[in-house]
Amino acid sequence: MKIKAIIPEYLKYIQVIGRSHYTIRGARFILLRFARYLEKERIYNIEDLTFEVIEDYQQELAFSLTAKGTPLSVSTQVKQLNTVTLLTRYLKEKDYLVNDPGKKIKLPREPKRLPKSILSQLEIKHLMNAQDMQSNNGYRDRIMLEILYDTAIRRSELSNIKIHDLELNGGFVKVLGKGDKERVVPLSKGVCELIQNYIRFIRPALVTGTDHGYLLVNDKGGRIRVHTIWKNIKHCARLANLKKNITTHTFRHTCATHMLKNGAPIRHLQEMLGHASLESTQIYTHVTINDLKEIHAKYHPGANKE
């Protein structure tokens, strides 16, 4: 049977099983494009569909251009390949094929995005200094900011820190990360001193009921929740009159970027951030490379040659 002839049957099938009008219209467009490619390669029959044929089509998509002359985005490639592999699965289920040639196709992965907001050291300074150190909440929020920037831990990890997780004399804190993996993260001397003062003078005034031992507590003395941390970060940014979209992850990105710029080994940074894969940490190298490119374009004598 011809590949092009099976497409209407498949489209009718996905209509019957309840796919939307837009899904069906998109699938028709994608599969007719696939059929045109196959005809160009002189592949007409269903039995000629093999893993190698679909793999070649994947390469074709990877090097295809849009009407504007730009490469197809990874998400577009994934959508088109998904539609093709759903067709091959249907062909296998309906016994048009003995094996599903699309089953082993590995879809391309979206490139990791660069962090959107990175704070400068001056912005960090403004953010810290904007907090009211004379009030209990202001002091606590300053501690929150200091720990986030000093350690690059996640907000959930910050929320779960208990006093017994701290070793202020040694300068480190024990945190529980993703997958309940425990790691030890360094704390700078200045931050340790601020935390010590907070524990001694501020925290007792915030704990009004049963003390469960959490470092950062809310106005009622309970553990400060992750959403409250997010809200407090937004409040702190407004106090500092910073216009960037600042979240708890901004501190994680900023800490990692600043450390890399200052020469921190990426393997050590991976351990500090609690990344299972070095690939996750390497996104920060792109940030520093972009900075280097800007400096190179501005100062290198050959950069502006025609």
Question: Which one of 162, 174, 249, 286 is the catalytic residue?
Answer: 249
For CA atoms 223, 225, 228, 232, the dihedral sign is: positive
Q: Any catalytic annotation for residue 214?
A: no
Measured CA to CA, the distance from residue 105 to residue 87 in angstroms comes to: 13
Question: Which one of 89, 92, 225, 275 is the catalytic residue?
Answer: 275
Question: Which one of 142, 155, 203, 252 is the catalytic residue?
Answer: 252
Measured CA to CA, the distance from residue 241 to residue 235 in angstroms comes to: 10
Q: Any catalytic annotation for residue 178?
A: yes
Question: Which one of 104, 178, 238, 300 is the catalytic residue?
Answer: 178
CA atoms within 13 A on the CB side of 268: 8
Q: Let me know: does 147 contact 194? Beta carbons within 8 Å.
A: no
Query: What is the secondary structure of 122-189 as a DSSP string?
Result: HHHHHHHHTS-TTSHHHHHHHHHHHHHHHH---HHHHHT-BGGGEETTTTEEEEE-GGG-EEEEE--H
Question: Which one of 139, 140, 142, 154 is the catalytic residue?
Answer: 154
37-55 in b/e burial notation, b at 16+ Cβ within 10 A?
bbeeeebeeeeebeeebbe
Q: Any catalytic annotation for residue 22?
A: no
List the structure tokens of 28: 């028709």
Q: Any catalytic annotation for residue 275?
A: yes
Centroid of chain to Cα 159:
20
Q: Any catalytic annotation for residue 284?
A: yes
Number of residues written out for the chain: 306
Strands 172-176, 166-167: pairing is antiparallel
Measured CA to CA, the distance from residue 283 to residue 134 in angstroms comes to: 39
266-273 and 248-261 helices, crossing angle to 10°: 160
108, burial (CB in 10 Å: exposed 0-12, middle 13-18, buried 19+):
middle
DSSP 186: E
List the structure tokens of 150: 């000093």
CA atoms within 13 A on the CB side of 79: 13
Q: Any catalytic annotation for residue 164?
A: no
Active site residues: 154, 178, 249, 252, 275, 284
